[in-house]
């Protein structure tokens, strides 16, 4: 099994018919992975846009 040579780097690597790399950072607008929430999300967000309400616990005595 270890002597067998596969013609791919990873089984999940996409197939490209042009014989070039399928993914490259040269063509990307910025280096690194894209955000799962979209590339137009700017962090940190202003506190007014978060819709967060801090929980309040009334102690029952």
d(C-alpha 38, C-alpha 47), whole Å: 19
Is 2 among the domain residues? no
* pLDDT number for residue 31: 72
Q: Which residue segment(s) compose the domain that 47 sits in?
A: 8-61
Better pLDDT: 7 or 53: 53
pLDDT tens digit sequence for 29-59? 777 777 777 778 888 888 888 888 889 888 8
pLDDT of 5 reads 65
Asked whether residue 49 is assigned to any structural domain, the reply reads yes
Count of domains for the chain: 1
In a domain, 57, yes or no: yes
Of 21, 25, 27, residue with least CA distance to 9: 21
Task: Flag whether 32 is in a domain.
Answer: yes
Average pLDDT of the residues of the chain: 74
pLDDT value of residue 35: 74
Is the pLDDT confidence value at 1 over 60?
no
């Amino acid at each position: 099994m270890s002597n067998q040579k596969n013609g791919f780097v990873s089984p999940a690597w996409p197939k490209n018919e042009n014989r070039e790399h399928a993914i490259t950072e040269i063509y990307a607008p910025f280096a690194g992975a894209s955000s799962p929430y979209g590339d137009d999300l700017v962090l940190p967000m202003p506190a007014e846009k978060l819709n967060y309400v801090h929980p309040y616990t009334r102690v029952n005595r």
